[in-house]
Amino acid sequence: MLLSDLGAEVIKIERPGGDGMRQWPPISNGYSENFASLNRNKKSVVLDLKETRDLECARALAGTAHVLIENNRPGAMSRLGLGYEVLCATNPALVYCSISAYGQSGPRAQEGGFDVVLQAVSGVMSVTGEPDGAPVKCGVPISDFSSGLYAASAITAALRAAEQSGLGSHLDVSLLGASLGVAALQTSEYFGSGKIPRKLGSAHPRNAPYQAFRARDGHFVMAAGNDGLWHAVCDVLGNPDIASDPRFETTALRAMHQDVLKSLIEGYLSDWTIEDALSRFRAAGVPCGPINDYESALSDPQVQAMGWVQPIDLPGGKKSKSFGPAVRINGKQGHIRGAPPALGADTEDVLAELAQSRTQTG
């Protein structure tokens, strides 16, 4: 999807019956809006890779492609005759990206894995939630999506290299590697101190005040990420003297004593509403915000101003909405160019175009 947002033609190969995500609710007129959220701008081609003719079509499509992305267990594509070594022999500039749970080699390579498993194995769940709480995963599929982000970034770089050298590459992207890669704060804490990072709720291991705080009518988040902002917090609270408290003189000391600091700050906030607190901290330039649900987040004036929420037409005629491309280029918002496809909607056209191309080159 990220590559299609940047203009790539993406052909999604689906098995008969389709991607399992097509069955995920909410379902509108028989079509999954969950599936739609990740499959805009794509073409759908149904191929049964157990059938010789369809397998040949897959090989032929790979022969015309700049990029092939697959997320089978290591070795599965090679057993089908669709491995990197075979395909690059006829298409040397092919960028071949394999996404798997643990990577293409190593003792765990053949194990499967979904997002929650990799959040557990990678350590993400060990630092998520309240200190005395049961294990919980991050509420968004961070292992899945960070892998996709790593893959898209690596593919764009590999395409540039292939353009210059004429030679493609085999990219090995794993959910485990991506999950550890985005955990730089935690891995550096362990390597640097030997201490195992722990759950801190909404708090930060190296910064304070930098978390959720309770006001009279609920919680909000405030983040004073440097000394200047800390002094601004003290002024907003009406007690500039706490800035000179020896427990809070530096960022490191504030993080070390953040439990005490949180209690102290919440003592001031007990008579303030969330809106009181937000207006006062914003006026002082201290980053802060409400803890939104997704209805509130998607209706935020900034989201509307950026044009991120866009209309989308689903197969079957229903009009819906989706979160569009997140990145602006030269100040312009990208748009959803094409609706998510019905299963196999493009099979006939794509294979006809492929046959014509093979006839012309043959």
- Express each pLDDT in 319-337 by its tens digit: 999 999 999 999 999 999 9
For residue 95, give the 3-state DSSP assignment.
strand
How confident is the model over 150-208, as pLDDT tens digits?
999 999 999 999 999 999 999 999 999 999 999 999 999 999 999 999 999 999 999 99
pLDDT at 362: 60
Name the packing angle between helices 227-237 and 258-269 (round to 10°). Answer: 40
Contact, 171 vs 154, CB < 8 A? Answer: yes
What's the rounded Cα separation, in Å, for the pair 224 and 330?
A: 31
Query: What is the domain partition of the chain in residue ranges?
Result: 2-183+297-361, 226-291
State pLDDT tens for residues 249-296.
999 999 999 999 999 999 999 999 999 999 999 999 999 999 999 999
What is the model's pTM? 0.93
What is the set of active-site residues?
144
Alpha carbons 150 and 197: distance in angstroms, whole number: 24
The C-alpha atoms of residue 326 and residue 302 are separated, in whole angstroms, by: 13
Instruction: Tell me the C-alpha distance between 13 and 4, whole Å.
Output: 15
Q: Look up the CATH architecture of domain 2-183+297-361.
A: 3-Layer(aba) Sandwich (3.40)
User: What confidence category does residue 361 fall into, taking pLDDT thresholds of 50, 70 and 90?
Assistant: low
